[in-house]
Chains A and B, each alone.
Chain A
């Protein structure tokens, strides 16, 4: 069996391509972004972000707004009383996680299906 020059050149080209792929393969070294430093006041669980009646009817609006702006804008949320809150579900759960069924009991009763737990870990699933 005779190896032709063409086959040698072709083989070399493939070798070069493989080496080049290995060398220039994009690496997944993302830039290290300093985590946003938000000054959060110590948890004061005596009062919620807004009055209870408002929260009962409008909590989904607030959560939706936090979800949409929280990732892009690290300024804290300021409520009517001037208190600052970090826009995070953990802010809510900071107080409300003392009852595992805090979210689920009403939603189940009202047959409402929030999509929070599509991504977030539901308090029910937390170990």
Chain B
């Protein structure tokens, strides 16, 4: 299983780079300031370039996938989410996709039984795993804003309190930490367990999972297990937020590992399948109105052809047609 252990090995090497660099090379400035700033620039620029690249592509045809009643007569109720005809419907449809993965909720699994009999059944596990994974990551990222500001933004404070609701262990255990670990485990095991899925999985499917796993483990270790002093970290981030690029204090090496892996993720983002984060908003099967019947959509790259109606044709060739004995509509 080269395609599994290769990304795993890569992640291990990526963990070692900042460890060796900071512990033995004294490259704190490189790993705390230069690489994070560079990766942020690459993330934003790369994301923007890919989005613009997608946005300027014309979408000539309406290709929404529909599975509901199209807008019709007034007394027939339209299924506004499944067959949208207005911008507001489309917004609802895309948001349903982005926030609740509606398409994935309809996920089915085909199984072949003796007979032969093909049976389709609903499988919601991937939907559940994906939901837990993405929502946990969102909460975790938003929670991190407490490191970036000297006063915590109210929403972050709320999320933080909700996340540590169970109030077990000291420092309080965040439930999203457990949830995200469970979800990553599920997503990795899912790709390994099923032979068909293992066959179509690529190293690039495993790498982001391993990378995020390593980030989560490093972060959790800093909080619960090996511990680092958080004050110099907070100092450093606040200095950076203040646009002064100075190395402010001695920070535990585990933080550099965590930060470097996040930077790798940020750099990797625009070049990889992770761009589905932006792409989901642009998927034409979801974000187009099913209104071909009420509005004409012409292909923007159609050549400008001069059409000639039959009447014009006859007007031009009437005499010749008469001579040849062809029937004409107007004498």
A-side residues, CB < 8 A to B, are 53, 56-58, 60-61, 63-64, 67, 106, 109-115
Q: Which residues of B sit under 8 angstroms from A57, Cβ to Cβ?
A: 227-230, 252
Q: Which residues of B sit under 8 angstroms from A67, Cβ to Cβ?
A: 170
CA distance A106 to B230 in the complex (A): 10
What are 9 inter-chain pairs, A to B, with CB distance below 8 A? A57-B252, A61-B227, A109-B150, A111-B146, A112-B171, A113-B164, A113-B172, A115-B167, A115-B172
In the complex, what residue of chain B is closest to A55 when comparing beta carbons?
Answer: B229
Query: Does chain A have a CB within 8 A of B275?
Result: no
Given contacts A112-B171, A112-B230, 13 further A-B contacts (CB under 8 A): A56-B231, A57-B227, A57-B228, A57-B252, A61-B227, A64-B170, A109-B231, A110-B230, A111-B146, A111-B234, A113-B172, A115-B170, A115-B172
Q: Which residues of B sit under 8 angstroms from A111, Cβ to Cβ?
A: 146-147, 152, 234
If A53-B229, A57-B252 touch, whether A64 touches B169 (CB-CB below 8 Å) is yes
Q: Which residues of A sit under 8 angstroms from B171, Cβ to Cβ?
A: 60, 112, 114
CA distance A114 to B146 in the complex (A): 15
When each residue 116-157 of chain B gets 1 if its CB lies under 8 Å from chain A and 0 otherwise, what string results?
Answer: 000000000000000000000000000000110010100000
User: Is B152 touching A106 in the complex (CB atoms < 8 A)?
Assistant: no
Within the complex, the shortest CB–CB distance from A83 to chain B, in Å, comes to 22
In the complex, what residue of chain A is closest to B164 when comparing beta carbons?
Answer: A113
CA distance A55 to B318 in the complex (A): 103
Looking at A61, A106, A111, which has the most chain B CB atoms within 10 Å of its CB?
A111
CA distance A114 to B172 in the complex (A): 8
CA distance A106 to B229 in the complex (A): 11
User: Is B170 touching A114 in the complex (CB atoms < 8 A)?
Assistant: yes
The 6 A-B pairs at the shortest CB distance, nearest first, are namely A64-B170, A111-B146, A57-B229, A57-B227, A56-B229, A110-B230
CA distance A125 to B164 in the complex (A): 25
User: Is A63 touching B234 in the complex (CB atoms < 8 A)?
Assistant: no
User: Is B231 touching A106 in the complex (CB atoms < 8 A)?
Assistant: yes
CA distance A114 to B167 in the complex (A): 10
CA distance A112 to B147 in the complex (A): 10
Considering only residues 215-272 of chain B, those with a C-beta below 8 Å from chain A are 227-231, 234, 252
Which one of B152, B170, B227 lies within 8 Å of A63 (CB-CB)? B170
Q: Which residues of B sit under 8 angstroms from A60, Cβ to Cβ?
A: 170-171
User: Is A110 touching B152 in the complex (CB atoms < 8 A)?
Assistant: no
CA distance A117 to B135 in the complex (A): 31
In the complex, what residue of chain A is closest to B233 when comparing beta carbons?
Answer: A110
CA distance A67 to B169 in the complex (A): 11
Within the complex, the shortest CB–CB distance from B175 to chain A, in Å, comes to 16
Q: Which residues of A sit under 8 angstroms from B164, Cβ to Cβ?
A: 113
CA distance A110 to B230 in the complex (A): 7
Q: Which residues of B sit under 8 angstroms from A63, Cβ to Cβ?
A: 170
CA distance A31 to B229 in the complex (A): 45
In the complex, what residue of chain A is closest to B151 when comparing beta carbons?
Answer: A111
CA distance A109 to B229 in the complex (A): 13
Which one of A56, A109, A114 lies within 8 Å of B234 (CB-CB)? A109
CA distance A60 to B167 in the complex (A): 14
In the complex, what residue of chain B is closest to A60 when comparing beta carbons?
Answer: B170
Q: Which residues of A sit under 8 angstroms from B167, Cβ to Cβ?
A: 115
Q: Which residues of B sit under 8 angstroms from A106, Cβ to Cβ?
A: 231
Within the complex, the shortest CB–CB distance from A45 to chain B, in Å, comes to 22
